[in-house]
Structures are given as C-alpha cells and as structure tokens.
Amino acid sequence: MLYITDNITEPANIGLGVNTNGHSITIRPDQDADRTITFTKLSDNTSPTGHFVIGYLGTGLTSDWSDANTIATSNVTIDGFAEGGSTKRLKFTNANTTHGSRVIVVVGACENTTIKNCIVENTTTNTNSPVAIVAVIRKGTAIDVAPKNLVLYNNTIICNISTVGMGIRITHSASSGTPSSKLTGFVCKNNEINAQRRILEMNYTNGGEISYNSINLAQPTTALLGYGIWTSTGCSGTFNINGNKFITLSIGGNETSGTLGQRAMSLGGSVTCNVFNNTFAGMERTGTATGSVNQTYVFFGCSGNIYNNTFYMPALTAPTVPGYYRAITLSYANPNIKNNIFISDEDALTNELIGSVTTGESDYNNFYLRAGNTKARIVSTYTTLADYQAANPTKDVHSKSKAVNFVSATDLSLTGTSIDDMDLAAPAIGSPVTTDIFGNARHTPNVYMGAHEPNNLNDTQTFIVTVPNGTQHVYIAGTFLGKSWDITTPFELTATANHNEFSGTFPAHSNVEYKYLCETGDWDYQEAVYEEGIPVQRTTNRTYAANDIVPIWYRVKSVTLNVSFEPTVGVPNQLFILSSINN
C-alpha cells in the first residue's frame, strides 16, 4: 500500500516495473484530502513514452526499449478514494510545457490493472499526440505481450488543452512487424472523458465493455478527423458499448481546405459491436471553415446491433458548411437497428437520420424531423416515413414518426407526455438490453424506444365497481397508458355475475387517477355524490382501490325501470309513468 501523503512535483518520469508474484500494489491518498502528483519533465523518454509507466523498469526509461526491462507488473490499483472516502482526491497531471505525451501508461503483459476514482489530466500544449491514459501492446525481439484485464472506472479524464489531445489510447510498440497479442478484458466504465481530438482509441484490442461514460469532444479544427469511441487497427471480438452519454460533439475552425469532421463512434474492422442504451446529443459546428465537414454520431462499418439508443440532432450554428450530417452512417455494414429514437431539429442543412438502408432488421424505431426542413431525410433519400416504408416494405413496418419530449437538449431522458406514450412502445429485445441508461430494469413484453425506460409500459390494474340499479354500460377514464382521460373511446367494463357489478383489467400504473362514466363523449355522464338536501355534485378523481362504489350518476342518457305486480292485482294492459324525466 503506497499512501500519497501530500502534493508531489516529479521532475523525472517514473517506471514501475516489478514482478509482483501474485501480490498487489495499491496507490491511494492517505486521508480524505486532495493530493496532486504533477510531472514536469520537458523531454520524452528514450523508451516507453509517459510520465508514470507501469510495466517497465524505472531506470530503463532513459535507455532504448528492451525485452528485459518490459516486466509484467500485475495487480496494480490506483484508487483516488481514501479509505472510507467517496470523493476523487488523487490527481495525476503535468505541466503544460512538458513533452507530455502520456500521463499514466500500462505497458506489456501487466494483468489486473485498475485505475479508479482518480482525476487524470494532461495539460500539455504539445501536439505530439498527448493522451491522459495509455495501454501499450509490446512486440520486442523475443516478446509479444499485451495487458490483460485493464479497468478504468469512475475517473475524470481530461486532455483538452492540446488541439490533438486524447483521453484514452490503446496502442502498440514494435521493434519490427506488428504484434499478434491483443489487450483482453478491457473495461471503461462510469468515467467522465473530455478531449479535443479523440476520446477512446483502441488498437489491438480483443473485445471489451465501454459503458456509462459521459463524453465531451470539443474539436477546435476541421483539419483533423475527430473520434469519440474508435475501434481502430487490429481489433477483434465483441464490444458492448452501452449507457454512454455524448453531451458535446462540437467542431470549429476557420480552415478553407479542411475536409474531415467528427464521429462520436467509429466502429469498424473484424469486430462485433453492440451499441445500446446510449444518448447522442450536443452536435455543433462553429467557426468559419468552408471545407466539406462530415459529422455523424455513429459511423458503423462492422457487424452488430444498434438497439434502444436516443439520437438528437440539434440545429447547427454554422449550417452553410457543406458535408453530411447524420445520426447513423453505414459503411458497407448492415446492422440490426431496432427500438431507437431519432429526432432532428436541423432547419437548414441537409441531414439524414440514417444514411442508407440496412439489409439487417430495422423496426420499432421513432423517426421524426421536427424542424420541417425540406432537406431532411428519414433514411437515405426518403423525406417521410411513409415514403421509406412504401419503397422498403419489409423495413420499419411498426416504426413511428412522432415528436418526443426530452428534459433538455443534452439530457435526453423522456419527460412530459412522452412518458406513458404507447406510440413509443416496442417489443423487448432481451439480452444484452436488460436495463436502460440509468440501470432501470427493462420490462416485458414491451419496452420504451430509446435509452430511457421511466416506468413499466406493461402495468395493468383490475377494477371492480358496483353501480346504481339499471346501469347498462360502465366506462372508465383516467391516467391510463395510451388513453389518458379519453372519454370518446374509453375502456369499457364488463358485467359480472354479481348484481350491478362490473369489472375490467386495463393498462395503468398503481398511481392511476380515474373516474367512472355511464356513457361516452360527455363529462356529464360521470359518477357523482349525493347528500340529502344538497344538489348532486360531480365526484373528485379516484385513486386506485380494488373495489369501488358509484352511488349515483351525475347524468344519464336513459333509465331502465322495472316493475312487478302482485298476483292479486294482475298485469295491466297499459302502464304509464309520471315523473320529472325530460321535464
């Protein structure tokens, strides 16, 4: 256990290379107080680049790479919480004048490295690909090794001073050729990541979990291609990318020839990617660049699935810049696209919710072009959902086109009338989409489209009510799922075997408010209360009870009267009634 007892300024870079032989090393603050470690060396190392290098012998940082100095240093944990604490107290950073390429680096065959609850900030202005956290696969003369079980959890990761700054990078170093080893067991979860060019670049990585991260990519130039989550060279296996919030994805600059842009996710290669429960917001273009700028939330060029995500495309500040603007761009790929919400507010620039038609399954999506932009497209060239469905009769048969209410332009949680909106209901997919972006359970058989599941759309309640004599029909209106206070076509209860009793089971939450009616289309036909000497009054809203009693109706369309006669009187040929009915 290495306790950090004060702020530290390190003029030299540090290598931690030791065979831990099954034991562990934990670095953490000694108490619940802020501790900052600042590296100030101006020049790069001769061997592995980085300020704090795990897996390489310390004295070797000033000499050439060697197999002997590449030492698997396993079971290392850097924990920014003090014992019993719950605040990020430990910060690793550097001076902005340093070479500053990498703050924390894990090299070679290190197993079970965990960096959690820390602040890792690269403040350099250097443009030689600075990164906050790096993992390096190493192919030497006699070794070909990669880290295993690298976990980055609940950190604040920042690299937004340099114009090419990156948050996290998995890369390789080789004496010759390319490595055959790949990083396995990678988990990047619950981090806040802020960078200017790339958020997470993965090379030579075999699968992983990237989940519940908050991401801000603010790119100052159009001369470079910016990436959020990127499966780059040599990746394989299955990546589950879920629960991430893309809050900002902006690009600026004044270049006249810059023809690149941004991808919140760039997923390609021999991998399978499951993209689910993510929210995509904050796309923006600023500056005066006149080159062709392409922006997309998901650039998809592999196999996999895109399930239950929420995409919001705001109106861009600089809409005169050419180039495409899309939620999803398919690059020779045909994923399954189901249960997503797509909303575009772009009111001038050409934009597409999906750039082309997938040959995979596509259904139960909500496509809505809210701005009324004639240059907007649902999928490919189709301006309306109906046109798209007519041209592709097997695609999105059950999809909708409806406005959706979000909490804000960056918080895409459902709110208002979008909660309990049965038009947003879709069949549950099951594994891996068993929870929503907040960890709430996904229900069956129906879930909400998009990343947020605010409640259970499958809730039902059973109502039993005793009503006045002669009642022929009983209806119910209230805060029901799909029929909120609908008196035109309300739910109708069915008569039971018991006298004057009706019952029905309808979609509603346990906090449903409701009233009974004896006819449809007019609130005068609702239930009422009556006291001797006091005019009949409409009742207040009910809250759920297993058994209800309606003592009287406020108004009825007709009354059925039944009369019987004593045998001694006999049955008359004619019968009349004198009353106040119809005056």
What would the pLDDT profile of 372-389 be if each residue is shown by its tens digit?
A: 899 999 999 999 999 999
Q: Residue 326: its pLDDT value, please? A: 97
Q: Checking DSSP bridges between strand 527-531 and strand 534-538, what pairing results, if any?
A: antiparallel
Q: Looking only at Cα atoms, what is the longest distance across the chain?
A: 123
- Could you tell me the pTM of the whole model? 0.92
Share the mean pLDDT of the chain. 94
Tell me: pLDDT of 421 over 60. Answer: yes
Report, as an integer, the average pLDDT of 401-408.
98
Nearest to 160 by CA among 96, 243, 87: 96
pLDDT of residue 340: 98
Residue type, 4: I
- SS3 of 287-333: the string is CCCCCCCEEEEEEEEEEEEEECCEEEECCCCCCCCCCCEEEEEECCC
Residue 97's pLDDT band, with cuts at 50, 70 and 90, is confident
CA distances from 481 to 289, 458, 559 (A): 48, 9, 32
CA dist list (Å): 325 to 250, 293, 320, 351, 454: 12, 9, 12, 5, 30
Helical (H) or strand (E) element with 387: helix 385-391
pLDDT at 582: 60
Residues 361, 397 contacting (CB under 8 angstroms): no
Q: Which residue has the higher pLDDT, 255 or 344?
A: 344
- What number is the average pLDDT over the span 466-491? 95
Region 198-210: mean pLDDT is: 98
Cα–Cα distance list, 492 to 74, 316, 475, 481 (Å)? 67, 49, 4, 15
Rounded CA separation 356/326 (Å): 10
Q: What is the pLDDT of residues 302-327, one digit of tens each?
A: 999 999 999 999 999 876 677 899 99
Q: What is the mean pLDDT of residues 241-253?
A: 94
Segment holding 385, helix H or strand E:
helix 385-391
Is the per-residue pLDDT at 156 higher than 80?
yes
Look at residue 320 in the predicted model and tell me its pLDDT.
Answer: 67
**Which carries the bigger pLDDT value, residue 290 or residue 52?**
52
What are the residues facing 91 on neighbouring strands?
A: 36, 119
What digits encode the pLDDT tens for the residues 266-310? Answer: 999 999 999 999 999 999 988 787 778 899 999 999 999 999 999
CA-to-CA separations, 501 to 69, 522, 526, in angstroms, rounded: 85, 22, 17
Pairing, β 52-54 against β 14-16: parallel
> How is residue 340 written in tokens?
């997503």
pLDDT(581) > 80: no
pLDDT at 127: 86
Q: Which residues contact 500 (CB under 8 A, 6 or more apart)?
A: 466, 467, 468, 469, 471
Nearest to 273 by CA among 371, 227, 205, 340: 205
pLDDT digits (tens, 9 = 90+) for 1-41: 999 999 999 999 999 999 999 999 999 999 999 999 999 99
Q: Is the pLDDT of residue 502 over 80?
A: yes
Give the separation between CA 472 and CA 336, rounded to whole angstroms.
50
What type of residue sits at position 438?
A: F
Q: Between 63 and 383, where is the model more confident? A: 383
What mean pLDDT do residues 126-141 have? 94
Predicted local confidence at residue 101, as pLDDT: 82
- Residues 134-157 have a mean pLDDT of 97
pLDDT score, position 223: 81
Q: Rounded to whole angstroms, how far apart are CA atoms 481 and 456?
A: 10
pLDDT at 257 over 70: no
- For residue 252, the model assigns a pLDDT of 86
Q: Return the bridge partners of 239, or none.
A: 208, 273
The mean per-residue pLDDT over the stretch 359-384 comes to: 96
Secondary structure of residue 386 in the 3-state scheme: helix
Phi, psi (deg, nearest 5) at residue 237: 80, -160
Burial 383-418 (b: 16+ CB within 10 A, else e): eebeebbeebeebbeebbbbebebeeebebbbeeeb
